[in-house]
Amino acid sequence: MKQSEFREFYQASRDVCLRAVLVSVGDRHLAEDLVAEAFARAWASWPKVSRHPAPRAWIVRTALNTRVSWWRRKRKEVGLEDAVPDVPDPREAEPGMDPGLLAMLRQLPQRQREVIALRVFLDLDTRATAKVLGIAEGTVTAHLSRAVSALRGRLVAVDDGTANDQEV
């Protein structure tokens, strides 16, 4: 029973969780590794995870926490470069995601990307998003508002053809 229930959850949730993590981290290969690790941890704790009010959010939060742990470990090993993630190769774009929009999402601050990932890609409400991220509901609303405003400004600039004149 446990195995078939987890298999169904994995098949129904993998892609949406991957897209949510991808929006947050901005690197497809890293997102795939993080989601795989999160699902492995979910399998190991499936009785607990299956009772979680939002198991997909558990996967995404675990993946993002894993990224922080990996980053801390790597930081001790080698110096980090202060660089913005590369613009994705359109041939490697996530199916169903516009590469230009993904590039714009990557330019948002980390917390705004996390809020977008949970609110938009996982369709969590404000309360659930706040709980997953460990922040106040008002903070979720503020981050979402700022992210949408920034994206709207960039998308309008692209539509107007003024994106070349602005720093995007």
pTM of the model: 0.63
Query: Which residues, 6 or more positions from 127, have their beta carbon under 8 angstroms from its beta carbon?
Result: 137
**Residue 167, pLDDT above cutoff 80:** no
Q: Exposed/middle/buried for 126, CB within 10 Å: 0-12, 13-18, 19+?
A: middle
pLDDT digits (tens, 9 = 90+) for 58-86: 999 999 899 876 666 565 554 444 444 44
**How far is residue 10's CA from residue 38's CA, in Å, rounded to a whole number?**
11
Helix segments in 26-166, DSSP class H: 28-44, 46-50, 55-77, 99-106, 110-116, 126-133, 137-160
What are 10-66's pLDDT values in tens digits?
999 999 999 999 988 888 899 999 999 999 999 999 999 999 999 999 999 999 899
- Topology of domain 2-160, per CATH? Butyryl-CoA Dehydrogenase, subunit A; domain 3 (1.20.140)
